[in-house]
Amino acid sequence: MSIHADIDHVILTEDVIAGRVRELGAQIVRDYASSSKPVLLVAVLRGAALFVADLARAIEDKVEIDFMAVSSYGSSTKSSGVVRILKDLDEDIEGRHVLVVEDILDTGLTLKYLLRNLASRKPASLEVVTLLAKEGKQQVPIECKYVGFSVPDEFVVGYGLDYGERYRNLPYIGVLKPEIYAD
């Protein structure tokens, strides 16, 4: 059976995502044009892996990439609010322009923790670019300088987003059928 059969409906097509990622890349180039140092994209694994790859290619300027892995979900569909850093940065970010690259802004609890942690390392600037922001889900205020799309409060997968490590490879973002993830 195809993984596409588990999708209730598609909310963002591959072409729509690609177009918006190009727009975000161009906006980042404009915003950091005066910087002599490359922007450091800090991708939050695993969900942001596809997004950061496409975003880096859309930034037609110097850019560097590093990765962090954090966990607050486990195998659940809801964040536990308890954040663990599973993989830290390889690079020192002091004095750097850092853009945290997220797949989805949901409750904001994980991102708040991560931003506080990164801010303590004294970057020149610290901003967030998220592919998706879930409508009405934030429990803590998070300022995202760059937002790809606002999406409804539904369980979405594809383009890096998963359920149980599956569906990341879908080229679009779709809503998973509820019977697939019923806890």
Q: Contact at 8 Å (CB) between 177 and 162?
A: no
Q: Token pair for residue 37?
A: 């140092």
Give the gyration radius of the chain's Cα atoms. Answer: 16
Instruction: Locate all alpha helices (DSSP H) within the chain, ordered by sequence.
Output: 14-31, 49-58, 109-119, 178-181
Q: Contact at 8 Å (CB) between 21 and 50?
A: no
Active site residues per annotation:
106
